[in-house]
Chains A and B, each alone.
Chain A
């Protein structure tokens, strides 16, 4: 059974750096073909794809956010980490990690950006 769970701060101040961790089980990110993506959803708005990290450590980012995002993995811990720099109130929303083509999602974590 595949599970994913996001963790991180619920409240972040503007200009700070946000660090989110996705802890997963039921698969290994060292296995060929495995990928984990990050997605966010502002309140009442649409899903937005942010980034992806693959089993071979290839990393891909949303064009509009690539200067602010970094994704990394710790295969031994079964974790994927997303950092987003220079946080702004418009970054408020629920952040998910997921295996998108398999339909496995975490429950999401709500991040509020406010001073």
Chain B
């Protein structure tokens, strides 16, 4: 079955740029979405359709896709950005959803 691959963890200092990648064969054809999840809470959408930012999400969050790799970039990461980040997309048919394994972002 289709898989999305993320690094298990990323660590940056406050103010640095954090980049989280997500690799999947169908990403050139299917949109990628990024979710932030903090402990005990439901996920929050931070990027949709590869690079669009929902209202209320800080401008420091951005997304891009190149080939089979989607990237979430947090420019000037802040302590409050710590949490787990998941990419989401579908297989090439568009019928089956899939989440990446999640990346734990540490900002300290």
Listed in ascending order, the chain A residues whose CB lies under 8 Å from chain B are 37, 39, 46-49, 52, 60-64, 96, 100-103, 105-108
| Segment of B17-25, B68-76, B91-99 in the binding face | B91-99
Residues of B at the A interface (CB closer than 8 Å) are 1, 31, 33, 35, 37, 42-45, 48-49, 54, 86, 88, 95-102
Given contacts A46-B102, A100-B88, A107-B42, contact A62 B48 (CB under 8 A): no
**Chain A's nearest CB lies how many Å from the CB of B22?**
13
Residue among B37, B48, B96, B101 having the largest count of chain A Cβ atoms under 10 Å: B96
The docked-state distance in angstroms from the alpha carbon of A63 to that of B33 is 21
Q: Are B44 and A46 in touch, CB under 8 angstroms?
A: no
Summarize A's interface: helix, strand, loop or mixed: loop
Taking a contact as CB atoms under 8 Å apart, the answer to whether B42 and A101 are in contact is no
Which residue of A49, A64, A102, A105 is within 8 Å of B97 (Cβ)? Answer: A49
Q: Which of B1, B31, B86, B95 contacts A47 (CB 8 A)?
A: B86
- 9 closest A-B pairs by beta carbon, nearest first, are A103-B45, A49-B97, A47-B99, A105-B42, A46-B102, A63-B1, A60-B95, A46-B101, A47-B86
B59 to A: closest C-beta gap in Å: 17
Which of A37, A64, A105: most chain B CB closer than 10 A? A105
